[in-house]
Amino acid sequence: MTLSDIAKVFNKNHATVLHSLKQLPFLLKFDKNLAYSYNNIMYNWLGNVDNSVPVSDEELKTRIKYLINQNKMLNLKVDDLNLQLSHYIGKYHKYLELSQEWGFRVGDRFDEFKRKVNTLLNGM
């Protein structure tokens, strides 16, 4: 994230974020509770850093671009699936209402009616 993006999250400006980043090493040195929390968060975020493999800035940029594109593709797929779902919900909702209404009218022949509606739905 850029400094401006981080600042927006905390309702601050980019200069405040930059100042905080510069002050962090000094705060960690003198506040043991903060240092403990920071190290805990970093360990959980990064995992076991002893096994990490150094990555060049260029490789990191390439990976980030790839992940951004994957995220866009997945979001498009989710949108498409939501559109399909809304289509099917609307289509089947009509048949559900129809079957409930006809349930009162067909009486003991309701199973036959259900089979016909099911055949109709599967045929679509």
Q: Are 76 and 70 in contact (CB under 8 A)?
A: no
The Cα–Cα gap between 102 and 120 comes to 15
pTM higher than 0.85 for the full model?
no
The full set of domain ranges for the chain reads 1-52, 55-124
50-104 per-position pLDDT tens digit: 666 677 788 888 889 999 999 999 999 999 998 888 877 777 776 666 666 665 5
Both tokens of 5, joined, read 């993006």
The Cα–Cα gap between 99 and 50 comes to 63
Radius of gyration of the chain (CA): 29
Complete DSSP assignment for 86-109: HHHHHHHHHHHHHHHHHHHHHGGG
Q: Are 114 and 99 in contact (CB under 8 A)?
A: yes
